[in-house]
Chain A
Amino acid sequence: MNSIATEGLDIAYDEALIVQALDMHIPQGKVTAIIGPNGCGKSTILKAVGRILKPQKGMVYLSGEDIRKLSTKEVAQKMAILPQTPTAPSGLTVGELVAYGRFPHQRGFGKLTFEDKKIVKWALDVTRLGEFECREVDTLSGGQRQRVWIAMALAQQTDLILLDEPTTYLDLAHQLEVLELLYNLNRNQGCTIIMVLHDLNLAARFSDYIIAIRGGDIISQGTPEQVMTSSVLKSAFNIDAEIVKEPRTGRPVCITYDLMK
């Protein structure tokens, strides 16, 4: 079963075609990572799937439905998308920002119902932000802030969450913290997670399915073991990589690499 599928997708910025005739299938209930070199179109694909970018041609299916036939609000009830490094207006509190996640479920003036408040509290608890509810978002650390945005997406109560490089600008520990949070959301709440990641080893460690992109095309996809091979990394990044099985997690890990000579 696919949560997201694309068919013959063409995506362009101005005249330059970034992605051409993309057919992509993303499994439901899994953590999927999209990897690839800079400028390969991975963020572009994520934005097109999340209807932030309008594709030139082709179709995006959300659980089998044509995404263009759904209103943007209906899409937001099924799919949350976090752009890369979003910024919160200064003075906004954690609780307020997370409550904005209830937007697609509200009408008119949008007063929070008892149900809304319960969901916001749940989202804060899951992301361990309960004690920060009244803090201003811009006084938090980078890792905490990223968790706040994830909490907002959670308050949207969607089965599907799209994230564009959720670990950018975070140190090692905070990267793990964010990815573990997403992993647990998948395992415990059954959310389908689709994220663009830069770090190959983290992608291999936390995802069930990896899609490697180069020049707007899928060059390999499958389990981490199937995709994290020296031949795939060679054609994707033009590197000569050495892959071993990591002893602690049993996942493939790239221990050293060089530019191709």
Chain B
Amino acid sequence: MKKTGYTIGKSLGIIILLSTLMFLLAVISMASGKMNLSPMEVLNVLMAKGTLQQNLIVFEFRLPRIVLSILVGIGMGVSGCIMQSLLKNDMASPGTLGISSGSGLFVMLYIAIFSTKAIYSPYILPMLAFAGGIMAAFVIFLLSYRRGKEISPTGLILTGVATSSGYGALSLMITLRLNKTQYDFAQRWQAGSLWGDEWRYIMVLLPWVLFFCLYAFYKSRMLNTLHLGNQTATGLGVAVKREFIGLTLASVALSSGSVALGGNFFFVGMISPHLGRKLVGPNHKLLLPASALVGALVVLVADTIIRTVSLGADIPTGIIITILSTPYFLYLLAKSN
């Protein structure tokens, strides 16, 4: 059978479907938790017709967490998508390249030095995470760059995994010296606890994610051509170096924002663009939104499960994602050989 490609109409349909799915899931998520509301009650609350108690539950407890889940998922999905296309490698992601761990190390350092009480400004952690991510990206570039040769994708990933373990070990060393509160925070943060679920943090993350996503979307034409290889892109008239740097910064910024306020979501950045590509094909005008939506859905599903199925202890969202994603990751690995 002849395999025909993705058509724009079909892919747009899938994106609309994903958006609808996300909206429905958000409503379900708002309704579920320790105190159940019916979907109708949720809609009432959203239309400003709820009771005081319902308002409190939805607007102060659940909605910020849902919005945070969505933003973290979008950030990771788009960040991973940019990295995979720039490096032409399905395994690339903020996690595998050690960017997230670099961000994490800086966050840990700050907590160790100033304690969790010192996170008085919502800007501090994202900025620190960004600095850590840039540092990690720079180290990887230094280690894998050979003059006059194109960077080998496998070498890059191996370097990423190696440096990532390095940052992990350093972070662990730091956590061992922490006091009880700091240690708890650090542990839960490492596992992806979505701790920044307060409006004041979200008001920082929202414009951040929005800005860099729009930038990446505006550059989707560049991503399309860079995905063909640097030489072909040069031939087509892309200023490869400049676009590469700009897009790398954007992808590090997106993953840092997610890492800072959500925690370490290793798999979301790798799997969302991969699923997105399966759904809508490699055209970035569709692939970027699809990766963003898949990322948001993954985090939202995981968080809703965590909040609904009370497993006794307060389990971080990232753990569920890791459990859900490991089989998919293994499948990817098996297929790549």
Chain A interface residues toward B at CB < 8 A? 13-14, 47, 50-52, 71-77, 80-83, 86-97, 100-101, 103-104, 106, 108-110, 134-136, 139, 153, 156
Contacts and interface: CB of A to CB of B under 8 A. Distances in A.
B5 A86 contact: no
26 contacts: A47-B231, A50-B234, A50-B235, A52-B235, A72-B234, A73-B239, A76-B236, A76-B237, A81-B235, A83-B229, A88-B228, A89-B228, A91-B5, A91-B6, A91-B281, A91-B282, A96-B5, A96-B283, A97-B228, A100-B225, A109-B221, A135-B4, A135-B5, A136-B5, A139-B3, A156-B236
Most buried by B among A82, A91, A96, A104: A91
B28 interface: no
B281 A73 contact: no
Contacts of B281: 91-93
B221 A86 contact: no
Contacts of A97: 228
B3 A136 contact: yes
B235 A80 contact: yes
Contacts of A77: 237
A89 B227 contact: yes
A146 B208 CA distance: 42
Nearest first, the 5 A-B pairs at minimum CB distance are A76-B237, A93-B5, A104-B237, A81-B235, A73-B237
Contact of B148 (A13, A51, A82, A103): A13
B225 A103 contact: yes
B236 to A, nearest CB: 4
Given A91-B281, A96-B283, A106 B221 contact: yes
B7 A100 contact: no
A48 to B, nearest CB: 12
B55 interface: no
B225 A86 contact: no
B307 interface: no
A51 B236 CA distance: 11
Given A88-B228, A109-B221, A52 B234 contact: yes
Nearest to A86: B232
Given A82-B235, A135-B4, 5 more contacts: A50-B234, A71-B237, A89-B88, A91-B5, A135-B2
Contacts of B235: 50, 52, 76, 80-83, 153
Nearest to A82: B235
Contacts of B147: 14
Contacts of B25: none
A75 B221 CA distance: 18
A153 to B, nearest CB: 8
B337 to A, nearest CB: 16
